[in-house]
Amino acid sequence: MSKTPLQNAPFLSLNNIHKHFGGVRALRGVDLTIEQGKAYHLLGENGCGKSTVIKIMSGAHDPTEGVINLDGERLNRLTPMSALEAGIETVYQDLSLLPNLTVAENVALGEQLVAGKGRLLRLLNKQKIKQTAIDALQKVGLEADESLLGQVIADLPLAVRQRVAIARAIAAEARLVIMDEPTTSLTRHEVEVLIEVVGRLLDNNVAVLFVTHKLEESYRIGGDAIVFRDGLCVAQGALENYTRLQLAELMTGRSIEAVRYRTGKPKGTVLLEATELGSGHGFHNISFNIQHGEIVGVTGLSDSGRNELAMALAGHVPIQQGVLTLEGEDVRISSPEDAIKYGIGYVPEDRLSEGLFIEKSIYENEIPLILDRISGSFGLLDDKKGRAAAGEISAEMKLNTTNLDLPVSALSGGNQQRVLIGRWLSINPRLLILHGPTVGVDVGSKETIFHAIQEMAERGIGLLIISDDLPELLQNCDRILVMHSGCIVENFNAEEVSDDRIYKSMLASSLEVSE
């Protein structure tokens, strides 16, 4: 078979790509095409398969099924080396720079590595490294003087590191540069610089694929939109042919009217009142309240400050400004212990590493907060009392097993989550913060978790749900707060809002919002 590229073949195309992880079908037949010198924007909600598809393009994952056409050659998979050789370079969010090496080495060592075909016992061509680094750095607009070339990456600000990472891709003669949410932690000025750098790449006939949430920037760069939803590519076409609303609809794909549990629920008295809370750079000027028996949702992009807010209320992140009152009483929360004392529970997003003792039994996972209540004589643990209490929790949370000695790792995601929620219910919390309560939980289990949430609200517990899953928030919440750049930018009544509307305000640049 000849290795010369076919004249009309596109640089890279994926045909009917499937990817399964165990039982989870991350990609279900994706088709997309990349041509050199064009910009692409991979859009979609979290968990739609975006990151899986870029890992397939960069050779980090093998597709379960499907064909990759590279320069007209049909391949079943790419390896990291073959992707690099073909000129596919990925700038991950972590930038993949070697922190202890210099700028010049980070930019130019790859070239030496490829030149030696992976052989390591060869002399370095220091002159070549320097020249390659200077050329590539100039293309990303960095003045490549001696002091920059010799700087160690760990000493550089993030925006400069990012350009070093792009320069490395250029030095490797990239034909496609994939950038995974490149602007997430950049200031507005730095974004401008990045957009200009991207323009230069395009001028040099390099294709650029952005994985991004920020439609604003995508429209400015132009090119093709590639929209993903539930593991499928649902649209590819010139960005200017789509309105923002159309894109949001394509991404969410729903006009499903799921049951809204909260219609017409009576409101109680104010439980928690936050006034101008602030913490370092996580969030600022946060004012809102939660009533007894009310369910408030918080959403926003991952850098919007919503995670920090949730963790601050639970005592994991210090609150530096503002006043927090609980049933009218001023409270200061500086540790998780304080939060528990005030009856504030926190169910973390990553229940496996932050919430559960995963190898331990259901029993041991349900009782840690009520040890004082179940201790018997001499302060020793009373196993009988403990088991009785744990049995109650299991029953209340409708676990699918009454066996208390089963390790939590043997349970499904939904049951694990219920063990965790049950643990908090055991202390009769006043406020429960649920962070991504249904992440990685199957549809059936979602329902039971929703029921548990509603039951808690009925008992008068205030709930704060932090989630990306807009339908879930619409179904469960009375109100939905949208955060952006550390501030609450919208306070929607869940009955009167659509997920498109919320999505739009999540993405809204700070220009449109309150400036």
Question: Which residues contact other proteins (rule: CB under 8 A)?
Answer: 60, 80-81, 84, 94, 96-101, 105, 109-110, 112-114, 116, 118-124, 126, 138, 141-143, 154-155, 157, 159-160, 187, 189-190, 193, 196
In whole angstroms, how close is the CB of 160 to other proteins at the nearest point?
7
The DSSP H or E segment spanning 432 is: strand 431-435
Q: Which one, 120 or 256, has the nearer CB to other proteins?
A: 120
* 214-223 burial: b if 16+ Cβ within 10 Å, else e: bbbbbbebeb
In whole angstroms, how close is the CB of 200 to other proteins at the nearest point?
10
> Is the separation of the CB atoms in 486 and 277 below 8 Å?
no
Q: Which one, 23 or 118, has the nearer CB to other proteins?
A: 118
Q: Which one, 56 or 97, has the nearer CB to other proteins?
A: 97
In whole angstroms, how close is the CB of 177 to other proteins at the nearest point?
15
Q: Which one, 107 or 339, has the nearer CB to other proteins?
A: 107
Q: Which one, 142 or 487, has the nearer CB to other proteins?
A: 142
The dihedrals phi and psi of 408, each to the nearest 5 degrees, come to -60, -25
In whole angstroms, how close is the CB of 340 to other proteins at the nearest point?
32
In whole angstroms, how close is the CB of 400 to other proteins at the nearest point?
35
What is the DSSP-derived secondary structure letter of residue 173?
T
Cα separation values, 265 from 271, 450, 479, Å: 16, 15, 12
d(CA 155, CA 161): 9
Cα separation values, 411 from 352, 394, 400, 419, Å: 12, 13, 9, 10
In whole angstroms, how close is the CB of 121 to other proteins at the nearest point?
5
In whole angstroms, how close is the CB of 98 to other proteins at the nearest point?
5
Q: Which one, 196 or 455, has the nearer CB to other proteins?
A: 196
Q: Which one, 97 or 506, has the nearer CB to other proteins?
A: 97
Continuous H helices in 224-269: 244-252
In whole angstroms, how close is the CB of 138 to other proteins at the nearest point?
6
Q: Which one, 82 or 335, has the nearer CB to other proteins?
A: 82
Residues 6+ apart with CB under 8 A from 91: 162, 165, 166, 169, 177, 178, 179, 180, 182
d(CA 119, CA 310): 49
The dihedrals phi and psi of 4, each to the nearest 5 degrees, come to -70, 135
Residues 6+ apart with CB under 8 A from 241: none
